[in-house]
Structure formats: C-alpha cells, structure tokens
Structure 1
Amino acid sequence: MKCNICLNKEADKKGSHIVPAFILKTLFERNKEFVVSIGSEAVQNHIGRELTPEQIEEYMGRELTDEEIEQNYIPFIEDNIFCSDCEKRLGHLESLYADKIHKKLSVLECDKDDVISFENEIGLISLFWYSVILRFSIAQHNKFNLKEKEYRAIRNYLNNNLKDTTQELKSHVEKDISFNCPYPIGIFFNSNAVKKLSSNSVLDIPKYKNPYFLLFNEYIIIFYNKATQVNGMKHSFFGLEKSFEATKNINYNKQKECQICVVRNDVWEEVKTNIFELFAKFKHREFVDMFRFVAEHSKLSFTRENIVNFVNRILYEDTHIADRYDRIRVLTILAEELNKLPKIK
C-alpha cells in the first residue's frame, strides 16, 4: 500500500496519529484512556493498555470479555497509512503549530468570547488543519470522508508544502505560503486544560458536507471546499451563533491575519450539548430503522408501540453505560422483541 500523502513510497509507518497527540492531551492520559466512539451500528469501548483491571471494572462495571480484549484498540492511531518520510514531515508541522499557536491558546481561561488574530500565520495554521482533516478522512474508525475531488486537492496541497526539516517548513510558511488558505476554514477554540469543565470528544457531524463541521476536543473546525460556498446558504452551527456570526470568522486565501475564535465556557458547553442531542436523534433513528427493516423482511405484524418498547429497552433497561449500546445487547433485545410479534396473515 502506498503512502496517502506522497503516493510514491510504501506506507510503512506504524502508530500514526490521526489527531495529533497534543490536541488530545486534555481528553485522556496516553495509554490510560477509556474512549467511547460512536459507530454506525453501535457504540464501542476502547480501553488504554495501562489501565488496571480495577480501573476497567470501575469504568465498565464488569471485567472485559475475552472477545473485547482480543478486539480492543484505541482510535486515532493507525498503522500503514503514511511512509516514514511523510510522517516526519507531518511531525515538523505539528511541532511548529503546537509551539507557535496552540501554546498561546491553551493557557486561556475562556471566560469571555474573543477573537485572536495571528498575523502572517494563515499559511501555517491552515496547512496544519488541512493535515488533520485529511488524516481524519482516511481513518477507519469513523464515517467521515472527504469527497474524492476534495481529498485529491488537499493531498496535493500537503504534499507540495510539507518539508523535510522544521527549518525548511518554518521558512516556507513565513515566506512562500504566509497568506495561503485555498480552502476556507473557521477555527473555534475552548481550553479544557485550565479548569477541565467537562470531557470533550472527537467527531464529525453526519450530513454536514457544505461546510464540514468537525469537533477535535478543544477545537471546532468549519471547513469549506470553495470560498463561494461560505455565503452561499445559511447554516446552523449548534449555538456558536450566540458568540459569533460564524461565516464572518472564516479564514480565506490571501488574508494577512488568521482569526481563531475563543468561545466562552457556557456557550461551548451548550454547543456540545446540542451536538450530542443530534447524535442521540441519529442513533434513535437507526434503532427504529433497524426494527422496521427486520420486522418487515420477516413479514411480522408490528405497531408503533412495539418500536417504542424496543427503543426504550435499549435506552432505559438497567445496564452499565459502557454496555448500553453494545452491538450484541442491541441485537439480543431486537430478537426478543421480534419473537413477540405475530406473522402477517
């Protein structure tokens, strides 16, 4: 398999980070994490390698099964997606962004809305976020995918602008692409390092394609493929509108300054709540569609009440949160509820 950036060398690198480690630092402690990811069929648990059996039981309310131990992995780290050279080039970019941008943001209290302008840094900042978006798009653990044309454009841009040394990259982003931002991007931030008000997440919003709406722990990224799309239609951004008119804070090509919006704590919490409520609706709809599909395929007679009973059992029957949406549990409840239904005569 060829590298997803250069397309020339073999993708031989092990343990590539889909999301840079410094962005996830406040989400969990490395190798001691307990991560819940929202998949297409169920919610999966991922347990860090250094968690003790006692800690796992505290999180899950039980011991791991042999199957869970065998299949366990931590998302955001994947093998054989880049060659070693491109991995190093990405590392130089991450280090430069972390040192020049993220360090300044991570100490903020976020007790008020603010816009921080980074002069002559739009090339560095946009290049970094394009790299994260591309990696997130090729990751196997989530459903987010750039369109093929978008992927090719961003891959080409990365391949042309990543450099072999930190010094080369520093010079390149300061002189050659200091005002480059070919794909419009909005960057919104709330620090989880100072007070740790609540745990954050990494996810994309399904069906948001124009623009894409992505949450990377302390960052929300709004990403457009074309500048003409920014004001082409009105968008809802889950409550960010209380702090900013989001489309006015989108960074474009040839701007001298790059704006990063600092979102105050109460608005950030409301935005996350609205996002999770949307995901709950998506998950509820999936359960309803699952029940309907199997019942109709099996020619069973059912009512709305049967569907409600099925969903309520998943949501409210006594079980630990770690197992509530487990695939086997959901399918077991489905089978039990379907067995109560008569055949259509």
Structure 2
Amino acid sequence: MNCKLCLVKPADKKGSHIVPAFILKTLFERNKEFVVSIGSEAVENHIGRELTPEQIEDYMGRELTDEEIDQNYIPFIEDNIFCSDCEKKLGHLESMYADKIHKHLSKKECDKDEIFTFNNDLGLISLFWYSVILRFSLATHNKFKLKDKEHRAIRNYLNNNLKENIPELKIHVEKNINLNCPYPLGIFFNSNAIKRLSSNSVLEIPKYRNPYFLLFNEYIIILYNKASQVNGMKHSFFDLEKSFDPLRNINYNNNEECNICIIRNDVWEGIKTNIFELFAKFKHQEFIDMFRFVAEYSNLAFTKANIVHFVNRILYEDSHIADRYDRTRVLTILAEELNQLPKISR
C-alpha cells in the first residue's frame, strides 16, 4: 500500500499520530490513558499500555477480558498510513506550530475572551490544521471523513507545501504561503494545561459538513469548503456565540493576519456540555432506531412505552460507566425486551 500523502512511496511508517501528541498532552498522559470512542453501535474503551491492573479495575470496575486485551488499541495512532519521508515532513510542520503558536496559547489562563493575532503566520497555521484534519479523516477507526473532492484538494495542498527540513519549511511558510488559507478556518482555544477544569475530547460533530465542526482537546476547528460559503448559511455553534461571532473570526485566503480566539472558561464548559448533550441525543436515537428496526423486522407488536423502557434500561440499569454502552450489553437488553413482545397476528 502506498503512502496516503505522496501516493508514491510505500506506507512503511509505524505509529503515525492521527492527532499530534502535543495537542493531546493535556488530555491524558501518554500510554496511561483511558480513551473513549463514540461509535455508531457502541461506546468503546481503549486502555493505555502502561496502566496497572489496579488502575484498570478502578476505572472499569472489573478486569479486562482476554478479548478486550486482544482488541485494545489507542485510536490516535495507526500504522502504514504514510511513508517515512512524509512522516518526517509532517513532523517538521508539527514542531514549528508547537514552538511558534501552541506554546504561547497554552500560557493563557482563559479567564476572559480575547483574540490572539499572529502576523505573517496564516500559512503556517492553516497548513498545520489541514494536516491534522486530513489525518483525522484518514484514520481507520474514525467516523469522520472528508468528501472526496475536499480530501484530494487538501492532500494536494499539503503535498505541494510540506518540505524536507525545518529551515526550508520556515522560509516557505514565511515567504511563499504566508497569506495562504485556501480552505477557510476558524480556530478557537481554551487551555487545559493550567486549571484542568474538566476532561476534554477529540470528536467531530455528525451532520456538520459545511462547515465541519471538530473538537481536538483544547481546540475547536471550523473548516469551510470555500470562502463564499462562510456567510451563505447561518449555523449554530453550541453557544460559541457567547464569546465570539464565529463568522467574523474565520481566517481566509490573503488575510493580513491569523486570528485564534481564546474562549473564556465558563463558555468553554457550556460548549462542551451542549456538544455532549447532542451526542447523547444521537445515541438515544440510534437505540430507538435499533429497537424499531428489529421489532418490525421480527413482526412484533410494540408501543412507545416499550421503546422508552429499553432505552432507560441501557441508561439507568445498574452498570459500571465503562460498560454502560458496551455492544454486548446493549444487544442483550434488546433481546430480553424483544422476547417479551407478542407477534402481530395476521
């Protein structure tokens, strides 16, 4: 299989980071993490390799099964996506962004709303975030996928602008693409390094396609297909509007500067609450749809009360939080509920 960036060299690199490690640094300690993936059928737990059995049991409420150990993986690392040369180029870009941009943002206590303006860095910042978004879309264990046309455009842009070494990349982003932002970006930040108010997440918001709405731990990224679409339709951004008018802070091609908006702590917590509530609604609807589909396929008579009882058992019946949405548990409850329903008489 060839590299998914250059499309030429063999994808021989092991352990590629889907999301750069420095972005995930305040989310968990490397190899000692509990990562939760929200999938289409269930919520999956992923356990860091260096956690002790006691730490795992404290989180899970039980020991890992042999099957869970065999299937365990951390969803932000994958093998054989890129060639070693492209991986190095991405690494140079990460290093520049981390040193020049991220370390300055991380010093903020985020006790007020403010706009951090970076002059002459639009090329670097946009190139970096395109690289993160492309990798996130490429991830095997990830629901988020760019549309084919967008994928090709961003891949080509990256392939044409990444460089072999940091000095060459530095000159390129400062002299050649310093004002480039071909795919409009909104970048919003709240530091989790200082106060660690609560845990963050890495996820995309389903059904947001233009713009895409992505949460990468401390960052919210809004990505548009093209500039003409920024003001083409009104969107809700989960109360981000309490701090900023998001559309006024979208970075475009040929902007004189790049704005990264610092979101104050209370607004950030509200945004996350709204996002998680939306995911809860999506998950509940998946359970409802599952129940309806199987019951109707099996020619069973059911009422709204049967569906409510099924969902409530999943949500509230005694179960450790780590196993609440386990696929086997959900299917077991479904079978038990369906077995109590009568057949529809013909």
The alpha-carbon deviation at position 282 of structure 1 amounts to 0.1
Q: Is 2:61 the partner of 1:61?
A: yes
Q: Is 2:247 the partner of 1:237?
A: no
- Return the alpha-carbon distance in structure 2 between the equivalents of residues 2 and 181 of structure 1: 28
- Return the alpha-carbon distance in structure 1 between the equivalents of residues 268 and 94 of structure 2: 25
Q: Is 2:302 the partner of 1:309?
A: no
- Return the alpha-carbon distance in structure 2 between the equivalents of residues 193 and 302 of structure 1: 50
Task: Show the counterpart of 1:336.
Answer: 336
- Return the alpha-carbon distance in structure 2 between the equivalents of residues 336 and 166 of structure 1: 60
The alpha-carbon deviation at position 256 of structure 1 amounts to 1.5
Secondary structure at the aligned position of 1:344 is classed as coil
The residue identity in structure 1 corresponding to 2:85 is D
Task: Show the counterpart of 1:107.
Answer: 107
The alpha-carbon deviation at position 142 of structure 1 amounts to 1.7
- Return the alpha-carbon distance in structure 2 between the equivalents of residues 74 and 16 of structure 1: 12
Secondary structure at the aligned position of 2:126 is classed as helix
- Return the alpha-carbon distance in structure 1 between the equivalents of residues 140 and 288 of structure 2: 26
The residue identity in structure 1 corresponding to 2:227 is A
Q: 1:242-280, CA deviations, whole angstroms, 9 ceiling, x for partnerless residues?
A: 000000000000011000000000000000000000000
Superposed structure 1 runs of 4+ greater than 3 Å apart: none
- Return the alpha-carbon distance in structure 1 between the equivalents of residues 127 and 264 of structure 2: 26
Q: Is 2:44 the partner of 1:44?
A: yes
Q: 1:36-57, CA deviations, whole angstroms, 9 ceiling, x for partnerless residues?
A: 1101110000000000000000
The alpha-carbon deviation at position 197 of structure 1 amounts to 0.4
Q: 1:93-136, CA deviations, whole angstroms, 9 ceiling, x for partnerless residues?
A: 00000000000000100000000100000000000000000000
The alpha-carbon deviation at position 209 of structure 1 amounts to 0.4
Map 1:60-99 → 2, pairs under 5 A? 60-99=60-99
Task: Show the counterpart of 2:205.
Answer: 205
- Return the alpha-carbon distance in structure 2 between the equivalents of residues 340 and 178 of structure 1: 65
Task: Show the counterpart of 1:165.
Answer: 165
The residue identity in structure 1 corresponding to 2:63 is E
Q: Percent identity?
A: 81
The residue identity in structure 2 corresponding to 1:288 is I
Q: Is 2:7 the partner of 1:4?
A: no
The alpha-carbon deviation at position 341 of structure 1 amounts to 0.4
- Return the alpha-carbon distance in structure 2 between the equivalents of residues 2 and 248 of structure 1: 40
The alpha-carbon deviation at position 240 of structure 1 amounts to 0.4
Task: Show the counterpart of 1:195.
Answer: 195
Secondary structure at the aligned position of 2:277 is classed as helix
Report the count of equivalent residues: 345
The residue identity in structure 1 corresponding to 2:292 is R
Task: Show the counterpart of 1:118.
Answer: 118
- Return the alpha-carbon distance in structure 2 between the equivalents of residues 321 and 287 of structure 1: 17
Q: Is 2:159 the partner of 1:135?
A: no
Q: 1:159-180, CA deviations, whole angstroms, 9 ceiling, x for partnerless residues?
A: 0000000110001001000100
- Return the alpha-carbon distance in structure 2 between the equivalents of residues 142 and 20 of structure 1: 16
The alpha-carbon deviation at position 33 of structure 1 amounts to 0.3
Map 1:196-345 → 2, pairs under 5 A? 196-345=196-345
Secondary structure at the aligned position of 1:238 is classed as coil
The alpha-carbon deviation at position 141 of structure 1 amounts to 1.7
- Return the alpha-carbon distance in structure 2 between the equivalents of residues 142 and 96 of structure 1: 27
Secondary structure at the aligned position of 1:260 is classed as strand
The alpha-carbon deviation at position 221 of structure 1 amounts to 0.1
Q: Which runs of 5+ in 2 are unaligned?
A: none
Q: How does the TM-score come out when normalised to structure 1?
A: 1.00
- Return the alpha-carbon distance in structure 2 between the equivalents of residues 310 and 14 of structure 1: 43
- Return the alpha-carbon distance in structure 2 between the equivalents of residues 280 and 327 of structure 1: 16
How big is the alpha-carbon RMSD for the aligned residues of Structure 1 and Structure 2?
Answer: 0.4
- Return the alpha-carbon distance in structure 2 between the equivalents of residues 141 and 278 of structure 1: 21
The residue identity in structure 2 corresponding to 1:344 is I
- Return the alpha-carbon distance in structure 1 between the equivalents of residues 197 and 165 of structure 2: 38
